[in-house]
Amino acid sequence: MKKKFSKNPVQGTEEPAQKPEVKTALILMAIFESAAFTKLRKSFGNLTTCEHKGQNIVKQKVEKVTNPNTESQQMQRKKFPTLVDLSVKFSPAIAVGLKNAKKTKHTVENYFVHVNKGNLTVDHGLVVSIDFERLILSKGNRAVQEEVSATLDTESRTLTLAFESAEEGVFVAHAAGDDVFYCCVVEKTLLQVKVVQLGMRAELADSANAVALPGKWEASADNLGVYLFCTDARGTAASRTVCLTVG
C-alpha cells in the first residue's frame, strides 16, 4: 500500500507527523492506493474512508473537542430546551392542529419543535425571544377565516371573537359548514395556555364566541397571544394558524 500524506501546514513538510501530541489536535488525512480497499466506504476504529475526486481518502476522526462551550453552542443549548418547554405548554392546541401534519413517527411535540425552531432567537446575552405572532400550532389546507375581531374586556376578563357572515352563493375551497374552529390563548409572561372549541363554521357568525381568562392571568392586550385554526368534522385535516390582533 502506498501512502501520500498531505502537507502539514504547521510543520511545512510533506513527511508524516511524528509528534504524538500533534495527532490529538489535527485530523490526519492520507491518499492511499490499494486493490483490497478500493471500494471500502466505511469506518473502522478511529478511521473513516471515502472517495474524493477519484482518489481514496482515509481520515482520522477527532478524538476530543477542544472547546465544547463556544457562544454558538451555548445559544443552541438555550434555544432548544425553550422550544421543548413550549411544545409542552401548547400541547392542548397542537394535539389537535398538528397531529395529522407530521409525516414521520415523531411525536407532535417534536414536530412542533421542528416547525417553530425559526420563531425563537437567542441573543449574545443568552436571552431567548419568542416571536408569538409566527408560532405554528396547526398546519393544513382547510380554509380558516381571517376577518375575525378579538376584543378584550378587562373588567370581565373576557375575550370575545366576532366572525363575519359568509356570503351566500360564494364557494370556498377546502371548507365545510361542519368544520370545527378552535381558539388558543397564551399568557405570554406566565406561558400558560387555554384552548377553547368555538363551534362549527356555519354557526360562528351567529354565536357568542367568548373566552374567559384565568384569574392569575394579566388581562392586557399586549400580554395575550390569540390564535385561530380549524379542522374538518373528523379532525383528520387542519388549517394553518392565524394569529389575531387583540383590541
The pLDDT tens digits of the residues spanning 69-120 come to 676 676 676 688 899 999 999 999 999 999 988 776 779 999 999 999 999 9
**Cβ atoms 180, 230 nearer than 8 A:** yes
How many residues comprise the chain?
247
* Confidence (pTM): 0.70
Residue 75's nearest CA partner among 10, 127, 30 is 127
Q: Is the pLDDT of residue 246 over 70?
A: yes
What's the sign of the alpha-carbon dihedral 12, 14, 18, 24?
positive
Most confident of 44-53, 97-106, 174-183: 174-183
Residue 58 to residue 48: CA distance in whole angstroms: 6
Q: Which residue has the cell 407530521?
A: 102
Q: How far is CA 147 from CA 104, 112, 123, 156, 162, in A?
A: 34, 26, 35, 24, 9
Beta-bridge partners for 151: 160
Q: Is the pLDDT of residue 8 over 70?
A: no
